[in-house]
Amino acid sequence: MRQLIKNLQFPATFLLICLLCQTLHATPLKTLSLDFTRELTENNETEHIAGTLHCDVKASRVVVEVNRPLKQIMVVRDNVLEIYYPVEKQAFRFTSEGRVPLPFVESIIQSTQAEYGLTAIGYTLGKHDIMDETLYTYWAPPKKAKDKLGSVILGMRDDRLISAEIKNPKGHIIARSHYQQHSKIGANYIPMTVISSTYDEKSEIHQREHISYSNPQVNADPPNAMLNFTVPESVEVKEIKW
Protein backbone atom coordinates (compact mmCIF):
# COMPACT_ATOMS: atom_id res chain seq x y z
CA MET A 1 0.00 0.00 0.00
CA ARG A 2 2.91 2.35 0.71
CA GLN A 3 4.14 1.85 -2.85
CA LEU A 4 0.64 2.49 -4.15
CA ILE A 5 0.38 5.79 -2.29
CA LYS A 6 3.80 6.84 -3.59
CA ASN A 7 2.68 6.23 -7.14
CA LEU A 8 -0.26 8.53 -6.56
CA GLN A 9 2.31 11.30 -6.31
CA PHE A 10 3.45 11.40 -9.96
CA PRO A 11 3.05 15.13 -10.58
CA ALA A 12 5.72 15.69 -13.19
CA THR A 13 5.20 12.36 -14.89
CA PHE A 14 1.53 12.92 -15.46
CA LEU A 15 1.90 16.58 -16.23
CA LEU A 16 3.86 15.39 -19.23
CA ILE A 17 1.56 12.43 -19.95
CA CYS A 18 -1.44 14.73 -20.11
CA LEU A 19 0.52 17.20 -22.21
CA LEU A 20 1.28 14.32 -24.56
CA CYS A 21 -2.29 13.06 -24.81
CA GLN A 22 -4.29 16.25 -24.68
CA THR A 23 -2.17 18.64 -26.74
CA LEU A 24 -1.58 16.07 -29.46
CA HIS A 25 -5.23 16.34 -30.53
CA ALA A 26 -4.00 18.99 -32.95
CA THR A 27 -1.84 16.46 -34.82
CA PRO A 28 -2.47 13.27 -36.83
CA LEU A 29 -1.18 11.23 -33.88
CA LYS A 30 -3.48 8.47 -32.72
CA THR A 31 -1.35 6.50 -30.29
CA LEU A 32 1.95 7.11 -28.56
CA SER A 33 4.15 4.89 -26.39
CA LEU A 34 7.31 5.92 -24.55
CA ASP A 35 9.73 4.09 -22.28
CA PHE A 36 10.58 5.98 -19.12
CA THR A 37 12.87 5.93 -16.11
CA ARG A 38 11.99 7.89 -13.01
CA GLU A 39 14.23 8.84 -10.11
CA LEU A 40 12.38 10.14 -7.06
CA THR A 41 14.15 11.55 -4.01
CA GLU A 42 12.27 12.12 -0.77
CA ASN A 43 13.56 12.29 2.82
CA ASN A 44 17.10 11.57 1.60
CA GLU A 45 15.94 8.31 0.01
CA THR A 46 15.99 7.74 -3.74
CA GLU A 47 13.69 5.37 -5.58
CA HIS A 48 14.13 4.24 -9.18
CA ILE A 49 11.16 3.29 -11.34
CA ALA A 50 11.13 2.15 -14.96
CA GLY A 51 8.43 1.20 -17.42
CA THR A 52 6.43 2.26 -20.46
CA LEU A 53 3.57 4.69 -20.84
CA HIS A 54 0.95 4.33 -23.54
CA CYS A 55 -1.45 7.01 -24.68
CA ASP A 56 -4.58 6.76 -26.79
CA VAL A 57 -4.81 10.35 -27.98
CA LYS A 58 -8.42 10.35 -29.17
CA ALA A 59 -9.76 8.55 -26.10
CA SER A 60 -7.49 10.52 -23.72
CA ARG A 61 -6.71 7.21 -22.05
CA VAL A 62 -3.34 6.63 -20.41
CA VAL A 63 -1.86 3.27 -19.43
CA VAL A 64 1.34 3.21 -17.38
CA GLU A 65 3.16 -0.12 -17.32
CA VAL A 66 5.68 -0.21 -14.45
CA ASN A 67 8.33 -2.95 -14.76
CA ARG A 68 10.52 -2.21 -11.78
CA PRO A 69 10.94 -2.18 -8.84
CA LEU A 70 7.67 -4.12 -9.01
CA LYS A 71 5.12 -5.03 -11.66
CA GLN A 72 2.26 -2.57 -11.74
CA ILE A 73 -0.23 -1.28 -14.31
CA MET A 74 -2.09 2.02 -13.94
CA VAL A 75 -4.98 3.09 -16.16
CA VAL A 76 -6.22 6.68 -16.12
CA ARG A 77 -9.30 8.03 -17.83
CA ASP A 78 -11.70 10.78 -16.80
CA ASN A 79 -12.40 10.47 -13.07
CA VAL A 80 -11.18 6.89 -12.63
CA LEU A 81 -7.74 5.55 -11.80
CA GLU A 82 -7.15 1.79 -11.69
CA ILE A 83 -4.00 0.22 -10.27
CA TYR A 84 -3.33 -3.48 -10.84
CA TYR A 85 -0.57 -5.63 -9.36
CA PRO A 86 -0.28 -8.67 -11.69
CA VAL A 87 2.02 -10.68 -9.40
CA GLU A 88 -0.07 -10.18 -6.26
CA LYS A 89 -3.36 -10.31 -8.22
CA GLN A 90 -4.57 -7.18 -6.45
CA ALA A 91 -6.43 -4.24 -7.92
CA PHE A 92 -7.68 -0.86 -6.74
CA ARG A 93 -10.10 1.52 -8.42
CA PHE A 94 -10.04 5.16 -7.33
CA THR A 95 -13.06 7.23 -8.31
CA SER A 96 -13.10 10.98 -7.86
CA GLU A 97 -16.00 13.40 -7.97
CA GLY A 98 -14.06 15.28 -10.60
CA ARG A 99 -10.96 14.45 -12.53
CA VAL A 100 -8.69 11.95 -10.84
CA PRO A 101 -6.09 14.00 -8.94
CA LEU A 102 -3.25 11.63 -9.89
CA PRO A 103 -2.20 13.68 -12.90
CA PHE A 104 -1.33 16.61 -10.70
CA VAL A 105 -2.55 19.19 -13.13
CA GLU A 106 -4.52 17.04 -15.54
CA SER A 107 -7.43 19.48 -15.43
CA ILE A 108 -5.03 22.20 -16.59
CA ILE A 109 -3.37 20.35 -19.47
CA GLN A 110 -6.30 19.97 -21.81
CA SER A 111 -7.22 20.15 -25.44
CA THR A 112 -5.35 22.95 -27.20
CA GLN A 113 -1.68 23.05 -27.96
CA ALA A 114 -1.15 26.79 -27.95
CA GLU A 115 -2.59 27.43 -24.49
CA TYR A 116 -2.31 23.91 -23.05
CA GLY A 117 -6.03 23.90 -22.39
CA LEU A 118 -6.00 26.61 -19.76
CA THR A 119 -8.68 28.73 -21.40
CA ALA A 120 -10.86 25.65 -21.97
CA ILE A 121 -11.30 25.22 -18.23
CA GLY A 122 -11.72 28.88 -17.42
CA TYR A 123 -8.16 30.10 -16.86
CA THR A 124 -7.44 33.59 -18.09
CA LEU A 125 -4.17 35.10 -19.23
CA GLY A 126 -3.23 37.85 -16.84
CA LYS A 127 0.06 39.07 -18.25
CA HIS A 128 3.20 38.01 -20.05
CA ASP A 129 6.88 38.80 -19.79
CA ILE A 130 9.89 38.12 -21.98
CA MET A 131 13.13 37.40 -20.21
CA ASP A 132 16.30 35.88 -21.69
CA GLU A 133 14.41 34.98 -24.88
CA THR A 134 11.80 33.05 -22.88
CA LEU A 135 8.11 33.98 -22.98
CA TYR A 136 6.45 33.67 -19.57
CA THR A 137 2.66 33.65 -19.45
CA TYR A 138 0.74 34.06 -16.18
CA TRP A 139 -2.62 32.33 -15.86
CA ALA A 140 -5.32 32.95 -13.26
CA PRO A 141 -7.83 30.22 -12.32
CA PRO A 142 -11.58 30.67 -12.88
CA LYS A 143 -13.30 32.59 -10.09
CA LYS A 144 -15.54 29.66 -9.18
CA ALA A 145 -12.49 27.46 -8.54
CA LYS A 146 -10.17 29.91 -6.82
CA ASP A 147 -10.58 28.05 -3.53
CA LYS A 148 -9.17 24.88 -5.16
CA LEU A 149 -6.87 26.03 -7.96
CA GLY A 150 -3.97 28.42 -7.97
CA SER A 151 -2.15 30.28 -10.70
CA VAL A 152 0.01 28.73 -13.39
CA ILE A 153 3.14 30.18 -15.00
CA LEU A 154 4.35 28.67 -18.27
CA GLY A 155 7.72 29.30 -19.86
CA MET A 156 8.04 28.94 -23.66
CA ARG A 157 11.06 29.21 -25.94
CA ASP A 158 11.21 28.40 -29.66
CA ASP A 159 7.71 26.85 -29.54
CA ARG A 160 8.81 24.52 -26.74
CA LEU A 161 7.44 24.34 -23.22
CA ILE A 162 10.53 24.64 -21.02
CA SER A 163 9.05 25.32 -17.57
CA ALA A 164 5.86 25.20 -15.55
CA GLU A 165 5.16 26.55 -12.10
CA ILE A 166 2.01 25.69 -10.16
CA LYS A 167 0.77 27.59 -7.12
CA ASN A 168 -1.95 26.80 -4.61
CA PRO A 169 -4.86 29.19 -3.97
CA LYS A 170 -2.77 30.99 -1.31
CA GLY A 171 -0.07 31.76 -3.85
CA HIS A 172 2.51 29.32 -2.53
CA ILE A 173 4.50 27.30 -5.06
CA ILE A 174 3.57 23.62 -4.88
CA ALA A 175 5.29 22.31 -8.02
CA ARG A 176 7.94 23.47 -10.47
CA SER A 177 9.11 21.57 -13.56
CA HIS A 178 11.77 22.06 -16.23
CA TYR A 179 11.49 20.38 -19.64
CA GLN A 180 14.60 19.57 -21.66
CA GLN A 181 15.90 17.67 -24.71
CA HIS A 182 12.79 18.15 -26.83
CA SER A 183 12.03 15.78 -29.67
CA LYS A 184 9.63 16.69 -32.47
CA ILE A 185 6.79 14.17 -32.62
CA GLY A 186 4.13 15.06 -35.15
CA ALA A 187 3.77 18.83 -34.96
CA ASN A 188 4.74 18.95 -31.29
CA TYR A 189 8.00 19.28 -29.43
CA ILE A 190 7.95 16.72 -26.63
CA PRO A 191 10.53 16.96 -23.81
CA MET A 192 12.48 13.76 -23.31
CA THR A 193 13.75 14.90 -19.90
CA VAL A 194 11.69 16.38 -17.08
CA ILE A 195 13.18 17.65 -13.83
CA SER A 196 10.77 18.76 -11.15
CA SER A 197 10.27 19.54 -7.50
CA THR A 198 7.21 19.59 -5.28
CA TYR A 199 6.99 21.81 -2.22
CA ASP A 200 5.44 21.50 1.23
CA GLU A 201 3.40 24.09 3.12
CA LYS A 202 6.61 25.83 4.23
CA SER A 203 7.70 26.22 0.58
CA GLU A 204 10.52 23.75 1.20
CA ILE A 205 11.27 21.03 -1.34
CA HIS A 206 9.36 17.87 -0.49
CA GLN A 207 10.29 15.72 -3.48
CA ARG A 208 12.74 15.88 -6.36
CA GLU A 209 12.03 14.00 -9.55
CA HIS A 210 14.03 13.27 -12.69
CA ILE A 211 12.30 11.53 -15.59
CA SER A 212 13.83 10.43 -18.89
CA TYR A 213 11.79 9.26 -21.89
CA SER A 214 13.02 7.23 -24.85
CA ASN A 215 11.98 4.98 -27.73
CA PRO A 216 8.84 6.86 -28.84
CA GLN A 217 6.43 4.71 -30.85
CA VAL A 218 3.90 6.72 -32.86
CA ASN A 219 0.71 5.32 -34.42
CA ALA A 220 1.82 1.69 -34.11
CA ASP A 221 -0.07 -0.62 -36.45
CA PRO A 222 -1.56 -2.66 -34.97
CA PRO A 223 -1.85 -0.53 -31.79
CA ASN A 224 -0.06 -1.76 -28.69
CA ALA A 225 -2.33 -4.21 -26.88
CA MET A 226 -1.67 -2.44 -23.56
CA LEU A 227 -3.83 0.45 -24.73
CA ASN A 228 -6.86 -1.80 -24.23
CA PHE A 229 -5.75 -3.27 -20.91
CA THR A 230 -8.44 -4.04 -18.36
CA VAL A 231 -8.14 -5.70 -14.96
CA PRO A 232 -8.84 -9.45 -15.32
CA GLU A 233 -12.38 -10.40 -14.34
CA SER A 234 -11.03 -13.02 -11.93
CA VAL A 235 -9.41 -10.30 -9.78
CA GLU A 236 -11.48 -8.56 -7.11
CA VAL A 237 -11.18 -4.78 -7.40
CA LYS A 238 -11.19 -2.74 -4.21
CA GLU A 239 -13.24 0.43 -4.73
CA ILE A 240 -11.97 3.65 -3.14
CA LYS A 241 -13.80 6.99 -3.31
CA TRP A 242 -11.84 10.23 -3.38
Question: What pLDDT is attached to residue 136?
Answer: 95
Q: Which CATH class is domain 2-241?
A: mainly beta
State the Cα angle at 110 between 107 and 116, rounded to 5°.
Answer: 115
Lowest mean pLDDT among 1-15, 148-162, 202-216: 1-15
- Counting residues of the chain whose pLDDT is more than 70, the rounded percentage is 77
Of the two residues 72 and 183, the one the predictor is more confident about is 72
Question: What pLDDT is attached to residue 99?
Answer: 55
Q: Tell how strand 90-95 and strand 61-68 pair up.
A: unpaired
The alpha carbon of 103 is separated from its chain's Cα centroid by a whole number of angstroms, namely 5
pLDDT in tens, 179-211: 899 888 766 777 888 888 988 887 888 889 898
H and E: helices and strands count for the chain: 2, 14
Lowest mean pLDDT among 23-27, 108-112, 208-212, 235-239: 108-112
Q: Where are the domains of the chain?
A: 2-241
CA distance 76 to 184: 25
**Mean pLDDT (the chain, rounded):** 79
Of the two residues 29 and 92, the one the predictor is more confident about is 92
